[in-house]
Amino acid sequence: MALNFGSRVMRNLLRLCPLLLAAALVFGAGPAHAGKRVALVLANSAYQHAPSLANPVNDGAVMAKTLKEAGFDVVDSRHDLTAQDTRRVLRDFADATRTADIAVVYYAGHGIEVEGSNYLIPVDARLERDTDVYDEALSLDRVLVAVEPAKQLRLVILDACRDNPFGKTMKRTIASRGIGRGLAQVEPSSPNTLIAYSAKAGFTAQDGDGANSPFTVALSKHLTTPGLDVRRAFGFVRDDVLKSTGNKQEPFVYGSLGGDDVPLVPVKAVAAAPVAPVANPQADIRRDYELSLQVGNRAAWEAFLAQHPDGFYSNLAKLQLEKIGAEQAHAAAIEKAKQAEAERDRLAAAGAQKDAQARAAADAKAAEQAQLAAQKTKEQAQQQAAAAEQQRVNLAAAASSAAPASTASPAGTNVASLTPATAPADLSRSVQTELGRVGCFSGQADGNWNTTSQRSLSQFNRYAGTKLDVKVASTDALDAVKAKPSRVCPVVCEHGFKVDGDKCTKIVCREGYAINDDNECEKQRAAKPAKPATAKRDDSEERPTRQRRQAGGAAGEAAGGYGAAAGIAATAGAGRRSGGGQVFCNSSGCRPVSRGCHLEYRGGGGPGNDANAEVCY
């Protein structure tokens, strides 16, 4: 597509930026800081069946004030609650956390650990027996349930590791049931959850000499520092408490968060200083274009075109708008096709009249054709926009090696004054490198965007759920791949190898096992011993000799008085050979049968009576 390189000079950059910012906020840009924040402060001092505590109510008041001044949307502060009232307050607070991003529960008072589980003790608890804790106290798990709906951070702070008077007086129903000193270590099962103890598990905390505990004093100082990650804030709290208690009390935090900073109080936005006018008008328009490209929605492109209605970048913006329109039309066509297909199936299931079913089938067919046409239009628009964007990148790369900016081009075609951008080969190389990092590209990152690179980006689309254009290496693809912190494409190993982390290792089977077709070690069956081959001897040459030997034996036997046997042997010999090979034996000896003669068995046998007669023709 031919592009018009003429462009108008941008009159007012500041007029465009607010439009783009508004479009980003209205059409899906995420907030720059934390959203809704809610907190519940519980403090128990006036215990009815144990000595009162001086500091918890004071500590609760300080924390409630700190959180309110930090701008929390809800801060519910309660003190000296019974078990029933505490359960009701937790239930109401759970309703508030359903729409919150950050939920905080602070508790000051007595706590107890029984059989490895932690419990908060309300003011009306008696705890005469160890089993009473299940009825009269509230488990820490119940508090965690109240904060669980929060989306970004669930924080529970317990200043409840004081020396517990109930543990000294309660009766043990089972001698082996353990009642710990302080609170037990806990590992939250829900993600993005932190549980902070005023003292490490198994240790007790101090109330201090003042109106507030050392732990609460440090919390009010560091926890709501704007922009300070909550984990670093608790690190500062730990340092202050160790210092103020002479290293006798060490606060501890259980649980984990992700890699991003999670401050309880966001940094207040500071108004940016006015941007000084830029001498190069093309650079201004390019900056506006790239800002619209980052926002990437219809409102942003329409705002850009309202400020820059024609020129090189306006043509690019129009292609981007056409691409968005084609994608929206394709989505609408898909929805219409689904509705038409559902109506057709409904009529068929209901047994409607044939003409109604025929009309519904025709409508479904037409909607399907419209969907295919919309898909084709969308793909063409995406290809045109990608090709134009690649051309822009190429022009910017060429501008970096062109004459200095002071060498002006003719008016309206000042493309060489564009600020340098990423060269196509460098961009392709960067995308290949990132694809290799996430496990989708195994070749060499040489900047050559060939079919292997396209196939790798297609694999990324499949497993990352993106729809990037694979024909060109674009900045959109680079940003999308960079956004993935770890492997996306799975490791694929050849037969005989298995996945081991991010690499393939050879499968080694133990003795007597071998790898089968399913790439698993399988026990080998014992091989049956081979039968020894029976040699078939060709004794055709020895047969005449053996027959003569047998005939001689028969003759000897005949000479010994076994004429019948000799006759049978002679007959057998006659059956095996022709007349010329027969031997006639009697009491006088043995001789070959005359030529043309043969032996016939006549019966009898014995001395003086030959069983065979020589018959000649």
- The residue count for the chain: 617
441 burial via Cβ count (<10 Å: 0-12, 13-18, 19+): buried
Q: Are 203 and 161 in contact (CB under 8 A)?
A: yes
pLDDT, greater one: 31 or 462: 462
Poorest-pLDDT segment among 190-204, 296-310, 532-546:
532-546
User: In this structure, is residue 607 part of a structural domain?
Assistant: yes
Q: What is the CATH number of the domain that holds 252?
A: 3.40.50.1460
- Examine the domain organization and report whether 252 and 115 are in the same domain: yes
- Examine the domain organization and report whether 125 and 227 are in the same domain: yes
User: In this structure, is residue 500 part of a structural domain?
Assistant: no
Poorest-pLDDT segment among 143-157, 197-211, 364-378, 599-613:
599-613
pLDDT on residue 417? 35
- Examine the domain organization and report whether 590 and 441 are in the same domain: no
In the chain, % of residues over pLDDT 70: 75
User: In this structure, is residue 172 part of a structural domain?
Assistant: yes
- Examine the domain organization and report whether 343 and 306 are in the same domain: yes
Summary count for the chain: helices (H), strands (E): 17, 17
Rounded Cα gap, residues 197 and 111, in angstroms: 11
- Examine the domain organization and report whether 216 and 73 are in the same domain: yes
pLDDT on residue 281? 67
- Examine the domain organization and report whether 252 and 308 are in the same domain: no
pLDDT, greater one: 278 or 214: 214
Model confidence at 146, in pLDDT bands (50, 70, 90)?
very high
pLDDT on residue 352? 82
* Domain total in the chain: 4
- Examine the domain organization and report whether 377 and 297 are in the same domain: yes
User: In this structure, is residue 268 part of a structural domain?
Assistant: no
Q: C-alpha distances in angstroms, 35 versus 77, 102, 225, 294, 410? A: 21, 8, 17, 23, 52
Poorest-pLDDT segment among 330-339, 410-419, 493-502, 525-534:
410-419
pLDDT on residue 238? 92
Q: What is the mean pLDDT of residues 479-493?
A: 85
User: What pTM did the predictor assign?
Assistant: 0.43
Asked if residue 364 has pLDDT above 70, the reply is: yes
Asked if residue 466 has pLDDT above 50, the reply is: yes
Helix axes 298-307, 13-26, angle to 10 degrees: 170
- Examine the domain organization and report whether 89 and 237 are in the same domain: yes
In the chain, % of residues over pLDDT 90: 22
pLDDT, greater one: 264 or 20: 264
- Examine the domain organization and report whether 215 and 292 are in the same domain: no
Instruction: List CB contacts of 272: < 8 A, sequence separation 6 or more.
Output: none
Going through 98-239 in order, the beta strands assigned E by DSSP cover: 102-108, 111-114, 117-120, 138-139, 153-159, 193-197
User: In this structure, is residue 30 part of a structural domain?
Assistant: no
Model confidence at 497, in pLDDT bands (50, 70, 90)?
confident
Domain that holds residue 41: 37-256
Model confidence at 442, in pLDDT bands (50, 70, 90)?
confident
Q: Are 8 and 284 in contact (CB under 8 A)?
A: no
User: In this structure, is residue 191 part of a structural domain?
Assistant: yes
444-457 pLDDT, tens digit per residue, is: 888 888 988 999 99
- Examine the domain organization and report whether 242 and 331 are in the same domain: no
- Examine the domain organization and report whether 69 and 202 are in the same domain: yes
pLDDT, greater one: 44 or 558: 44
Model confidence at 529, in pLDDT bands (50, 70, 90)?
low
Which of 482, 504, 528 delimits the end of a domain? 482
- Examine the domain organization and report whether 157 and 215 are in the same domain: yes
User: In this structure, is residue 533 part of a structural domain?
Assistant: no
Q: Are 59 and 210 in contact (CB under 8 A)?
A: no
99-121 pLDDT, tens digit per residue, is: 999 999 999 998 888 888 889 99
User: In this structure, is residue 273 part of a structural domain?
Assistant: no
pLDDT on residue 582? 78
Which of 224, 256, 288 delimits the end of a domain? 256
110, two tokens: 């007595």
Asked if residue 136 has pLDDT above 70, the reply is: yes
Asked if residue 607 has pLDDT above 80, the reply is: no
